[in-house]
């Protein structure tokens, strides 16, 4: 799945769209996606100018976005729902991610109950885990969300 299709599934846009490509997706099970970390990422101007490191929170966001794509592909009526990150558990950051790295975003569904889905997520660079977390996504009906806005 290339960027044009990713934009169909995620509401995020530059500079906050953090999934560049989907390599593999198994609805209801797992997704493997890529985030190419470029020297030109806007966050590198301030994090940190002398020693550029991708913020851990953005690595988790990239994992959550991959999980969102998986959840949309797993829902029987994806056009009727809006997926939001609702919880981050057990987040661990093991190694700095720097310009030139390619993040492999590996996300696996653990369980889905009512309007929540729990994922196990790992970000890898050259086969080495650089970050991992358990993520929970909330599934909101677009019609209910529109009423609140």
The catalytic site residues sit at: 47
116-125 vs 21-26, strand pairing mode: unpaired
Q: Exposed (0-12), middle (13-18) or buried (19+): which is 45, by Cβ within 10 Å?
A: exposed
Residue 41's alpha-carbon distances to 44, 54, 85, in angstroms, are 6, 9, 22
Q: What are phi and psi of 73, to 5 degrees?
A: -70, -15
Query: What CA–CA distance (Å, rounded) separates 62 from 68?
Result: 10
Which ranges constitute the DSSP H helices of 46-123? Answer: 56-74
Query: What CA–CA distance (Å, rounded) separates 134 from 140?
Result: 20
């Amino acid at each position: 799945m290339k960027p044009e299709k990713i934009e169909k599934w995620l509401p995020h846009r530059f500079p906050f769209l953090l999934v560049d490509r989907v390599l593999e997706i198994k609805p209801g099970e797992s997704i493997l996606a890529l985030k190419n970390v470029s020297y030109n990422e806007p966050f590198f101007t301030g994090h940190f100018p002398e020693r550029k490191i991708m913020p851990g929170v953005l690595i988790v966001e990239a994992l959550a976005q991959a999980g969102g794509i998986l959840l949309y592909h797993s829902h029987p009526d994806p056009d009727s729902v809006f997926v939001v990150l609702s919880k981050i558990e057990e987040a661990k950051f093991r190694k700095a991610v720097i310009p030139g790295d390619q993040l492999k975003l590996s996300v696996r569904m653990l369980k889905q109950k009512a309007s929540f889905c729990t994922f196990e997520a790992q970000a890898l660079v050259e086969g080495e885990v650089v970050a991992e977390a358990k993520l929970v996504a909330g599934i909101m009906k677009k019609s209910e969300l529109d009423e609140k806005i």
